[in-house]
Amino acid sequence: MVSASLAYPETVAADDPGAARMANPLTGDVLRTQGALSSDGTSLLESTRSVPVVGTSDVLVCGGGPAGVAAALAAARAGASVQLLEVAGCLGGVWTAGLLTKILDASNKSGIMQELLKAFAERGSQVAVDTQGTVYDPEVAKLVLEELCVEAGVKIRLHTRLVGAVLNDQRQIVAVLTESKSGREAWLAQRFVDCSGDGDLAAHAGCQFDVGIGAECTCQPMSMLGLLTGIDPEEVRPYIRETASSAKPLLLKLMEENGIQPSYRGPTLRHLHSGIFSLMTNHEYGVSAFDAQAITDATIRARRELHEIVNGLRSIGGAWANLAIVATAEQIGVREGRRIRGRYMVSVDDVAQGLRHEQAVCRAAFPIDVHALGTSGNKEIDQSFKSKGMQPYDIPYPALVAADVDGLLMAGRCLSGDFVAHSSYRVTGDAVATGEAAGRAAAISVERQIMPHELHWGEIAKEA
């Protein structure tokens, strides 16, 4: 039942009854927006509208985080025309907008991961490479990722959110829809790679997915990170993660002795370079990655906590007397979103047994890392995975290929796996390696005019 009708973009008389009006910022005209409001006012049915096609490419990558950048670079270097869509104002995802500062599970990776580490280091970013990972400067990462993509001929569109997917009657994705300051736009491509972290593209295409663990789909907590300055690395050396193995408990003790109770009980302080540090000491529990209001509330809480903790540390005086926040992350760090169902699902048993697979795209070696799911820890979930142990395991190519639609690959934290396996392969060394494989496979499948699921990664790897 329709009780009111709204229209756009017709220009209408300002006194037209029943129209919701807004001033056109460009012309000053009064516009009507098309749509139909339900009689109870709880929903609005949008009218059909024509959306301009603004891009056509061989491969379209959604999300410019570690996985997406690697996918775009690999596809472009394999000869494909590539469109990269990113909602943030920079490339890098959690690496940059999330101010992460540490790359894990990179030392056993070749290809683009090694290239990026070298490029970050050449710009003065890298201060520590060890088995624990590599520290980098997020600002350096932003610049390097943009430069490499531009150099490879990747077309980049920032500030643009993917909001829909269009399939043909063979269940093959043929286009995606975005929203941005340029309005609603359509992008055509032959192959698509979902590197959105949360699996947005695959979900819009109707793919099945899993979220979190248990009946409540409980996810790992989100965390807001920040950059700090005003302390001397030598004076606070015992508290720096990379230089002292007891740094986390020591920093927690210092905080607690001074009345600070951080929501993340393993506060992690890193020295990047030149007196710039990063700090992770916040956990936001039970926040859905698909609830914008819940993420907003968590962001506000987390930023306030970070400032309060820094104020508390500064009040200790001594080495901490001049501690200050340089920046808090623009994007709260999301550890878990959708895990899209692929043609293989990486499982806890694969991790426990150290899976070897003929279509391995990379080997993941980072341990299972399930952060506390709530303030009482992980008591509410089955802990049996802990006794199974962990050995380095292969990520098979079919785990990157969507099960339910054709022409779609996934990489990074939204690839196909279970809750426990995800807690290991979600780190960025593996995001880059899986992104590189997905991008290359997408390009090769275009060149050979076959679907990604018809490729055998073992054969492609031999051709390299």
Ligand X SMILES: Cc1cc2nc3c(=O)[nH]c(=O)nc-3n(C[C@H](O)[C@H](O)[C@H](O)COP(=O)(O)OP(=O)(O)OC[C@H]3O[C@@H](n4cnc5c(N)ncnc54)[C@H](O)[C@@H]3O)c2cc1C
Give the residue, chosen from 57, 60, 84, 102, that forms a contact with ligand X under the rule CB under 6 A. Answer: 102
Among 58, 137, 194, 200, binds ligand X (CB under 6 A): 200
**Cβ atoms of residues 181 and 419 within 8 Å:** no
The first and second tokens of residue 149, run together, are 């993509």
Tell me, residue by residue from 103 to 122, as one string, x for binding to ligand X by CB under 6 A and - for no binding: xx------------------
Burial 241-271 (b: 16+ CB within 10 A, else e): bbeeeebbebbbebbeeeebebbbbbbbbbb
Measure Cα distances from 66 to 115, 139, 251, 266, 427 in Å.
13, 14, 29, 25, 10
Give strand ranges (E) for 101-251. 102-103, 129-130, 133-135, 155-157, 161-167, 173-180, 183-194, 209-211, 225-229
Q: In the complex with ligand X, which residue's Cβ is closer, 19 or 104? A: 104
* Best CA proximity match to 345, nearest among 450, 459, 210: 210
State in angstroms the smallest separation of the CB of 26 from ligand X. 26
Q: Which is nearer to ligand X, 223 or 445 (CB)?
A: 223
Q: How far apart are CA 100 and CA 431, in angstroms?
A: 14
Site string for ligand X, 334-373 (x = CB under 6 A): xx--------------------------------------
Q: Which stretch binds ligand X (CB under 6 A): 44-52, 180-188, 297-305, 425-433?
A: 425-433
Considering the rule CB under 6 A, would residue 134 count as an interface residue with ligand X? no
Pick the closer one to ligand X by CB: 93 or 417. Answer: 93
Q: Do 75 and 442 contact (CB within 8 A), yes or no?
A: yes
The answer to whether residue 93 forms part of the interface with ligand X (CB under 6 A) is yes
The reply on whether position 283 binds ligand X by CB under 6 A is no
Task: Give the shortest CB-225-to-ligand X separation in angstroms.
Answer: 6
Residue 155, Cβ density class (10 Å: 0-12 exposed, 13-18 middle, ≥19 buried): middle
Minimum CB separation from ligand X for residue 379, in Å?
22
Q: Least separation, in Å, of the C-beta of 21 and ligand X?
A: 30
Check residue 63 for interaction with ligand X (CB under 6 A).
yes
Binding-site ranges for ligand X (CB under 6 A): 62-68, 85-88, 93-94, 100, 102-104, 161-162, 195-198, 200, 223, 333-335, 412-413, 426-429, 431
